[in-house]
Structure 1
Amino acid sequence: MNKIFVAMSALPLMLSMSLFNQAYAEAGGTVPPVAVDSDAATNTEPANGGVSRKMLGEVVVTSTTIDDRFDSKRGEPSNISNINGRRVDEEHGKNIVDVLESVPGVTAEVQSGDSVKIMLRGVEAQRYMGEKPGVAIVIDGVPVLERTGRVNIDLDNIESIKVIKGGASYLFGEDALSGAVIITTKRGAKMAGVTAAAEVGSFNYHKGLLRVGFAGNDLVGHIQKSKAMSDDYYDQGAWSRDYLDGKLQYLIDASSDVTFGFEHSKRSKDSHGTVRGVTNAAIDPTSATSGGKDYARKYDIDLNKANLSYANDFGDGANLLVNTYLFKDHTYGWQGPSGYLRDSAGTLLAVNDMSQLRDVYASGADTKQVQKGMKAEVRKGGEQTGMMAGLDMQRFEDRALTTNLVTYTSRNTPVGVTNPLNLQGTVTNNSLSTSDTRAMYGEFKWLLAEPLTATLNARYDNITAKYVSYIPLTATQISQGRVSSGEKTFRVWSERAGLNYALSVDRELYSNISTGFRVPTISQLYGGSITPTGTVLANPNLSPEKSWNYEIGMRAKSELFGVALDTDVAVFQLDRKNFILNTGGQYQTTPTAEGVEQYQNIGGVRNRGLEVGAKTDSLQAWSGDVAYTYLRAIFTRNDSYWMAMGSRSAPLPSVYYNNTGNTVPRTPQHKINLTTRYRATTAWTVTGEMNAQSGSYADEVNVVWVGGRTVYNLMANYEIKTEKGMKWSAFARIDNVFDRYYYTTIRGSSDSNGDGVYNAEDPSITVNAGRVWTAGLSLVF
């Protein structure tokens, strides 16, 4: 099937090359040049700090992991979406999902506020416990990897968003299984002046912002402060976020600049409002009375980002970009909602079931992550070829300290070897994990014939992962084969091969095969051997996971009833073979002590789909956009899954499932976003939006089905400029206008209520907050 799909990808390009060359010859015209922006040949205006945005003759390399100053999609062999900062500002969204809904193929899980886990093309939808998302998230060249697997970004500080779909490790390295989201923060002379803004909304939502910027002959910069908070819809769900960010840019000369950017954010979040089962979701959607408990609570997060970049345009189509960065993430939170409270002698307390005690958790996790590195890229273009070469060096450190908050046991049976007593204050994890990456990557573009361009990419990663525990091992633990350190080096190649055929100046076909990869984690490699009581066997011979993306598409600029239309259509298949799973299954364990529990390369999944995007000019009186995704995600291998049954105090035999052929959970087959705008005057704009998706399963065993939903949003913007140059803006936004009841998230993996049957009363559910309003006012002078 893969061979057929590859052949299909190449066939339209070959047919197009012969037919359209013939058509142009018969018409007496010239064969169209490779597709570039219409103003490419003449646009030498300094863009973003003095670097000229000049197309490189016939062939230009726009790929970069550092910057957005090469933002054209023309000539690209992959599916790419660009969103500018003005669009982000006009959305007035609570989180980045409100913006990314307009991009086909994007799915995301909103945790709270603007904390979001972004996924592309349904990859990694089956996982939800803070794992990496399978998408490279890059902010100002910094490959952001937060402890929770989510991304937090100040929406008021976004200059542009670029979404690359398909395996993207050929540029971004590890975890770009399904693509990359590249975010560039605000910069430049347009930030000069003063901006003040305030917002209010449902659930006592308040937000304030102040930005001050300046622009001199060779120095521009700004600094921005914002703070937002809300009581939230959910009981114990209050959250807050505080940002301080800015950028300083020095123009060395007409062709080079150096830029320093920083961001500090302090965030807090309590409960996410989960409940157990559909009955509790119906009678207690805010999780106030049914005893629902999140796995983790009481998050306090400090994030610090800083980057320093240098750019130089040497002329004649050559330029250099260099970026250094530092990212720190300090997160503390409660975790472990279940167990049985005891005193130091091991006697059960009168009230002991932690699952029924909302404010009692087993442990507190204090983690400090540090990411630092350097990237450098040089590119050169010409009439027949273009190239880019890059160097990527990065170090990642994760310092973890976990301490018992209470004295407890996992079960209410007598204390013993299989049910040890965990004493309050005991440090259960004191470790350091590191990852050192040394990588080289490059791109080569070749004009094979006048309308046909080939693109080849390759990246080589050398990744060394290390682990050390600072908790001394006992003699017994040493005799059991437990270790306090481990080290493993992976050497991985990633590739992309693509073709782009310019049917005309405004239409082009593109096709590519690309790969993504992910290296095993320390816990997957060494299992329980690096923990005092773990039972998972080590497997240091694990191989990196790899994805293969096959894609063919067409992008065009045309007219429909006299309205300019920008369209992009893509068909894709994304295969992951031998991805890493526990032999017990996702979040499961084997049913008996004799069963082998180990992480192995035994998983497989195939995601196929169609993506259609169409946009019109938002400055017209009437305009609209559509983003449609058809997705079919199937497990091609998932035949080792044992579902835990019964309660902790009275466990029952686990039930075996063979999930091969099942649909990946939380992957609706159909998803559509429709947006329409009416610009009544130059000052007034009214926007209506519809988000609809079909139903999906809540679990890998495909037992609990959740129906589809359609949600409508409405927004009005008013903007006016005075004669003195002041700009007043106001907006009002209503999300979920018709107060549609639905689940924001639903996840099922075991018999959580302990009744011996897995059904709709077992999944963990977060109910949507319903109709929510926001309004704001801003002034720029």
Structure 2
Amino acid sequence: MRRGCGFPVLAGALGSVLALSGVSAADNLGVIYVESTTIDDRFEQKRDEPSNTRTISGEKVDESHVENLQQVLQSVPGITSEFTSGGNLKIHIRGVENQRYMGEKPGVAVVIDGVPVFERTGAVNIDLDNIESIKVVKGGASYLFGDDALAGAVIITTKRGAKLAGYRLEAERGSFNYQKYLARAGYASDNMNAHVQVSRRESDGYWFQSEYRADYVDGKLQWYVDDSSDLTFGFEASNRKKDSHGSVEGVTQAETDPQSYEGRDYARMYDVDLGKYYLTYAKDLDGGKNLLLNAYQYNDHTRFVTAPQNYTADTPPQIVTDVNAYTTGNDYKQVQRGVKSEYRSAGTGMAWMAALDLRDNTYRNYTKYLVDFKSSPSPSPLNPIRYAGTVVGDDFTREQVHAVYGEIKFQPADRFTFTVNGRYDHLALDYEDYLAALKLDKSFNVTSWRLGGNYALADTVDIYGNVSTGFRAPSISQLFAGTISPTGKTASNPDLRPEQSLNMELGLRGRGNWGGVDWDFDAAIFQLERDDYIMSTAGQYSLPVSGELEQYQNIGGMRSRGFELAMNSDRERKVALNVAYTYLLSEFTRYDNFNLLLGNRYGTYVADCSILNPATQYCLQSMNLTGNVIPRTPQHHLNLSLDYRPARGWTVTGEMDAYSSYYVDEPNTIEIGARTVFNALLRYDTRFGAANKASFFVRIDNVFDEHYYNTARGSSDGNKDGVFDAEDISIVVNPGRVWTAGLSVQF
């Protein structure tokens, strides 16, 4: 296993940055403001922010001409993301939840225009053409965002303002029949601005059955009620159709069949309708005070199929080989509603913010059989016909959140700003199973906080630090698994406690001049501890020993330590460089209950693996994984991008993205080698007429056609040969060299 150098070397790295900064005395910071918010980005500044944050402008996103959000976020230190196909992206921060891959929440709060959004799979999707800014807050962030902000938050603000007045048309084409079309119309006057935008992205995809299409309609109306207040209404509606194939089983298939023509994914054919609507009122009051009110609703209606059909309902059952034959239809409806309010007051000695967060979320699962079928070739009476139309799942969950949060900022001495945050959440879960006439409920009270400080070493250099917390409440399925499915192998545990995370970090940020070039920099060392980690007593994705019941308990733990550095040279220069580096060591601090499953999990259990017949039997090897490295957490990640402007209007961008090796499994037996990928972008921008613009670009990803894996994961003997090795892991192979070209006109 890998072992890190620990905090002494990390502190030395931070000290090196400090030495280069050329610090000097600084004056009093003057009026103090509270910039923290979960609603808007109008307070964005980093001068006295005590946490490690990173902001990407919408202009940068637009100029990058990317196809998915991962291509943008890879330039943010501390972030790893799992991208498969169809624009499906799961975001991880500082190693939290990198080991899970079957639709669990990522431990990161995602907020778009004040709306906390997440889809049923834990993934996030956003219209890339409608981004004003992306702000990443790293470390426990529940003090602002509540549940699931174990490792941080990603806050996205969509486009708005008078700058969108006029018309814009865009068209792009690329590899695998990738196409994008966009049209936008905007209006601006002295007392209002508004715009509406429609777009479509679609592709046949590189992988078998990986085609997707995403249609978006979004817009915003901002009305300036008077000189000190405005009212903003925003909406985004989308329909996405995507398949999910792309995984191959084992390194041999990754070499011989990288597009995965063989096999059938368990879940496919997604039809997703999303709707986001919000109304925000902002009022600036006398004396540096401000009031924000926000009401929102986020809808997710997802339909998809699961469970490939293997046998017909005939006697005897016949084998089914049709790749599109599935047994179960799933209809999932999620509605998130909420109201927030934030009141803040600025001052020369102290500033504060008080806020209220009320949520009312509902989740409805409905499943039924699509065809007549049998589950095995056995003619036994224990293998009855499952009939099409039979409802096999119908349940409803209501989640209510009542929370108050706030922040106090004050200056106990010149140049030093101290920040205290606190949040109290009351979460209530109500569950009803309509088929079993079952009702269950559970509630939690959770407190989150942050203590931080910022010291101005110079007019342009600050040292900052904080201790912050995050939490995640148990789910209904973890609490009441045995009650909901009494014939299953998992027992209920209504005594589960919320998971907790504790983040500590120390950083240095500011501006300096090195080599005659102005730089912005932000460097931080951190340690994130996760406790009361909810895990199965059988381990991840495994089975309990025969005769025993599995149960979710607060029995896991993990720790991440690392160093993050972001440096950006002056973008106005002919040559501009951006550097993002992450050193990350993530390990399990408690994990003594892992069962490695060998053989056929649907076969007969045998206690002795030495006599295993893997085709018809399975056995379990008990392991203690405490101290193991968390899967899919490369120890080093370096992203470099260089912008070169050879002539007026022309920009050439080169990017290098490099990862060190990483383990794909929790036992740390299978390691994927390091990889370095180069991307290139050529862009030409010009103006014509009084205020019209045109832009043309060509982008090439993976210029040298590097062969590597987008993601790899494994936890058991997938090919049922009695051995867990590289032939058992699930792999998504990178498509290789990909090109995109496009033209946009604004007038």
TM range, normalised to the smaller chain? over 0.9
- 1:136 corresponds, among 101, 104, 109, to 109
Larger displacement relative to structure 2 (419-428 or 486-495):
419-428
Partner of 1:597: 550
Partner of 1:561: 515
Superposition deviation, residue 434 in structure 1:
1.2
Superposition deviation, residue 340 in structure 1:
4.4
Partner of 1:646: 599
Distance 1:428 1:151, change over 3 A: same
Distance 1:550 1:529, change over 3 A: same
Q: What is the CA deviation profile of residues 134-171 of structure 1, one whole-angstrom value per residue up to 9, with x for unaligned ones?
A: 00000000000211111110011000111100000000
Partner of 2:690: 724
Superposition deviation, residue 424 in structure 1:
3.5
Superposition deviation, residue 515 in structure 1:
0.3
Partner of 2:144: 171
Paired AA for residue 60 in structure 2:
R
**Partners of 1:122 and 1:225 in 2: how far apart?**
36
SS at match of 1:164: strand
1:159 aligns with 2:132: yes
SS at match of 2:318: strand
Partner of 2:472: 518
**Partners of 2:450 and 2:695 in 1: how far apart?**
45
- 1:433 corresponds, among 397, 401, 413, to 397
1:343 aligns with 2:313: yes
Partner of 1:446: 410
Distance 1:769 1:309, change over 3 A: same
- 2:28 corresponds, among 2, 25, 33, to 33
Q: How does 1:608-627 map to 2 (within 5 A)?
A: 608-627=561-580
Superposition deviation, residue 420 in structure 1:
7.0
Superposition deviation, residue 402 in structure 1:
1.1
Partner of 1:378: 343
Q: What is the CA deviation profile of residues 608-633 of structure 1, one whole-angstrom value per residue up to 9, with x for unaligned ones?
A: 11001001122210001000000001
Q: How does 1:352-751 map to 2 (within 5 A)?
A: 357-408=322-373, 412=377, 415=380, 422-472=386-436, 484-531=438-485, 533-592=487-546, 594-647=547-600, 648-649=602-603, 650-751=616-717
SS at match of 2:317: strand
Superposition deviation, residue 699 in structure 1:
0.9
Seq. identity, %: 50
**Partners of 1:312 and 1:517 in 2: how far apart?**
32
> Is the Cα contact below 8 Å between 1:529 and 1:536 reproduced in 2?
no
- 2:230 corresponds, among 251, 257, 270, to 257
Question: Which consecutive unaligned segments of at least 5 residues does structure 2 have?
Answer: 1-5, 604-615
Superposition deviation, residue 341 in structure 1:
1.9
1:311 aligns with 2:282: yes
SS at match of 1:661: coil
> Is the Cα contact below 8 Å between 1:341 and 1:348 reproduced in 2?
no
Distance 1:515 1:446, change over 3 A: same
Larger displacement relative to structure 2 (721-730 or 171-180):
721-730
> Is the Cα contact below 8 Å between 2:316 and 2:379 reproduced in 1?
no
> Is the Cα contact below 8 Å between 2:433 and 2:439 reproduced in 1?
yes
Q: What is the CA deviation profile of residues 643-666 of structure 1, one whole-angstrom value per residue up to 9, with x for unaligned ones?
A: 222223513212222211111000
Q: How does 1:261-272 map to 2 (within 5 A)?
A: 261-272=234-245
Superposition deviation, residue 342 in structure 1:
4.4
Paired AA for residue 151 in structure 1:
V
1:106 aligns with 2:79: yes
- 1:276 corresponds, among 233, 238, 249, to 249
Superposition deviation, residue 747 in structure 1:
1.1
Superposition deviation, residue 336 in structure 1:
2.5
> Is the Cα contact below 8 Å between 1:341 and 1:407 reproduced in 2?
no
**Partners of 2:381 and 2:42 in 1: how far apart?**
63
Distance 1:628 1:412, change over 3 A: farther
Paired AA for residue 182 in structure 2:
L
Paired AA for residue 249 in structure 2:
R
Partner of 1:44: none
> Is the Cα contact below 8 Å between 1:415 and 1:421 reproduced in 2?
no
Paired AA for residue 360 in structure 2:
R
SS at match of 1:601: strand
Superposition deviation, residue 294 in structure 1:
2.0
Q: What is the CA deviation profile of residues 433-491 of structure 1, one whole-angstrom value per residue up to 9, with x for unaligned ones?
A: 11000000000011010011110000000000111011036xxxxxxxxxx12100000
> Is the Cα contact below 8 Å between 1:385 and 1:445 reproduced in 2?
yes
**Partners of 1:730 and 1:411 in 2: how far apart?**
57
Larger displacement relative to structure 2 (604-613 or 267-276):
267-276
Partner of 1:780: 746
Superposition deviation, residue 261 in structure 1:
0.2
1:75 aligns with 2:48: yes
**Partners of 1:171 and 1:411 in 2: how far apart?**
51
Superposition deviation, residue 405 in structure 1:
2.8
**Partners of 2:622 and 2:376 in 1: how far apart?**
23
> Is the Cα contact below 8 Å between 2:467 and 2:505 reproduced in 1?
yes
**Partners of 2:737 and 2:524 in 1: how far apart?**
34
Paired AA for residue 116 in structure 1:
L
> Is the Cα contact below 8 Å between 2:574 and 2:644 reproduced in 1?
yes
**Partners of 1:677 and 1:5 in 2: how far apart?**
34
> Is the Cα contact below 8 Å between 2:301 and 2:333 reproduced in 1?
yes
Q: What is the CA deviation profile of residues 300-321 of structure 1, one whole-angstrom value per residue up to 9, with x for unaligned ones?
A: 0000000000001113211011
> Is the Cα contact below 8 Å between 1:5 and 1:550 reproduced in 2?
no
TM-score when scaled to structure 2?
A: 0.94
SS at match of 1:455: strand
> Is the Cα contact below 8 Å between 1:205 and 1:229 reproduced in 2?
yes
> Is the Cα contact below 8 Å between 1:277 and 1:761 reproduced in 2?
yes
**Partners of 1:428 and 1:640 in 2: how far apart?**
32
**Partners of 2:729 and 2:389 in 1: how far apart?**
32
Superposition deviation, residue 58 in structure 1:
2.6
**Partners of 2:522 and 2:707 in 1: how far apart?**
33
TM-score when scaled to structure 1?
A: 0.90
Superposition deviation, residue 409 in structure 1:
5.5
> Is the Cα contact below 8 Å between 1:275 and 1:293 reproduced in 2?
no
Question: Which consecutive unaligned segments of at least 5 residues does structure 1 have?
Answer: 25-30, 35-56, 474-483
> Is the Cα contact below 8 Å between 2:86 and 2:243 reproduced in 1?
no
Superposition deviation, residue 422 in structure 1:
4.1
Q: What is the CA deviation profile of residues 471-527 of structure 1, one whole-angstrom value per residue up to 9, with x for unaligned ones?
A: 036xxxxxxxxxx12100000000000011100111011010000000000000001
Distance 1:545 1:513, change over 3 A: same
Partner of 2:214: 241
**Partners of 1:203 and 1:515 in 2: how far apart?**
44
SS at match of 1:90: helix
SS at match of 2:490: coil
Paired AA for residue 329 in structure 1:
D
Paired AA for residue 50 in structure 2:
P
> Is the Cα contact below 8 Å between 2:84 and 2:710 reproduced in 1?
no
Partner of 1:27: none
**Partners of 1:740 and 1:468 in 2: how far apart?**
50
Distance 1:138 1:420, change over 3 A: farther
Partner of 2:610: none
Partner of 2:192: 219
Paired AA for residue 106 in structure 1:
I
> Is the Cα contact below 8 Å between 2:313 and 2:374 reproduced in 1?
no
Distance 1:577 1:348, change over 3 A: farther
Q: What is the CA deviation profile of residues 387-412 of structure 1, one whole-angstrom value per residue up to 9, with x for unaligned ones?
A: 01110001111111011234456555
**Partners of 1:183 and 1:141 in 2: how far apart?**
8
Paired AA for residue 507 in structure 1:
V
SS at match of 2:550: coil
Distance 1:589 1:695, change over 3 A: same
Distance 1:606 1:357, change over 3 A: farther
Q: What is the CA deviation profile of residues 59-80 of structure 1, one whole-angstrom value per residue up to 9, with x for unaligned ones?
A: 1110000001011011011001
**Partners of 2:265 and 2:345 in 1: how far apart?**
52
Count of matched residue positions in the alignment of Structure 1 and Structure 2: 721
